Amino acid sequence: MNTALEAVDLKRSYQLEGLSVEALRGVSLRIEPGEFVAIIGPSGSGKSTLMHLLGCLDRPTSGALRVNGVEMSGLSDTSLAELRNRTIGFVFQSFHLLGRTSALDNVALPLVYRGTGKAERRARARRALEAVGLGHRLDHRPSQMSGGEQQRVAIARALVGEPSVLLADEPTGNLDTRNGDEVMAILDRLNAESGVAIVLVTHEPEVAAHARRQIHVRDGLIELDTALGDGGGRSGEAGGSEVGPVDPRGPDEGELR
Ligand SMILES: Nc1ncnc2c1ncn2[C@@H]1O[C@H](COP(=O)(O)OP(=O)(O)O)[C@@H](O)[C@H]1O
Ligand SMILES: [Mg+2]
């Protein structure tokens, strides 16, 4: 099976009033099918920028990104949107649902862009909502739902197209503890049962503990990736831990699992 996501030396800078802000300064990582990864780091360290690149919602200033083995840089915007639609689901902190549209139609929307027929769209959207425990809320609008329910609708929408990777940027950030726990329980189960790889950003150690691998980001670089089995405490070294596990034959990767 192809590596789900492979980033090589990704950089992204933003131009602000004539100044260049380097949000990502060279990030390399691989996400394998079925992994569960937490990205952790201080505010402003580049986590959302990285997630938007991994999710093909944005293009890097330089560097390479392969999605299921397909290099994205050569793709037109239309082809990139198609690749994203088929392989990646994205969940946002603030849900990003259509507030006056039913849960079922919100979830079915990605299939509209794919040209799936109406009956099949509705059947698949219903199954996706059932999978997040909302089979009894198909006709409810997000504006009539709790935050936890809205995030579950957003997860169903992200998964309705059966992507290989689910990316979630602080999915519990707007939820209280109980709703956050419920959302995490659903992500645990989806990862275990459907094998979808999950990459989530969080500030909360209890949320990060759900993942089997932690990636710490600081100042636009990876300072620790637990998949490497080393790198702790080496963030200040030139050529140190920010080098991701891109080439398993590299000299520093003896403990790569
Ligand atoms: N659209 C943008 N335009 C200008 N600067 C941005 C933009 N998005 C992010 N940044 C800057 O890039 C850096 C990283 O931001 P971000 O990826 O949102 O960090 P995080 O998600 O870790 O809080 C910050 O300095 C932020 O101000
Ligand atoms: Mg962010």
Instruction: Say if residue 205 is exposed, middle or buried (CB neighbours under 10 Å; 0-12, 13-18, 19+).
Output: exposed
Question: How many Å lie between the centroid of ligand 1 and the Cα of residue 49?
Answer: 6
The total domain count for the chain is 1
Which ligand is closest to the CA of 47, given by its number?
A: 1
Does residue 96 belong to any structural domain of this protein? yes
From the CA of 169, how far away is ligand 2's center (Å)?
A: 7
What's the predicted TM-score (pTM) here? Answer: 0.88
Q: Is there a domain that residue 14 lies in?
A: no
221 within domain boundaries: no
Domain of residue 145 covers 34-60+76-213
Å from CA of 91 to ligand 2 middle: 12
pLDDT in tens, 119-160: 999 999 999 999 999 999 999 999 999 999 999 999 999 999
pLDDT tens digit sequence for 172-221: 999 999 999 999 999 999 999 999 999 999 989 999 999 999 999 999 99
Residue bearing the CA closest to ligand 1, atom 24: 44
Kindly state whether residue 157 falls inside one of the protein's structural domains: yes
Residue 143 CA, ligand 2 centroid: distance in Å: 24
Q: Is 220 within the bounds of a domain? A: no
pLDDT of 90 reads 97
Note the pLDDT tens digit of each residue in 150-162.
Answer: 999 999 999 999 9
CA–CA separation, 163 vs 160, rounded Å?
A: 8
Ligand 1 is surrounded, with C-beta below 6 A, by 14, 16, 21, 23, 41, 43-49
Structural domain contains residue 139: yes
Which residue, judged by its Cα, is nearest atom 25 of ligand 1?
A: 44
The CATH number that applies at residue 116 is 3.40.50.300
13 within domain boundaries: no
Ligand 1 pocket test, pick from 10, 11, 14 with the greatest ligand atom count within 8 Å of Cβ, gives: 14
Let me know if residue 232 belongs to a domain: no
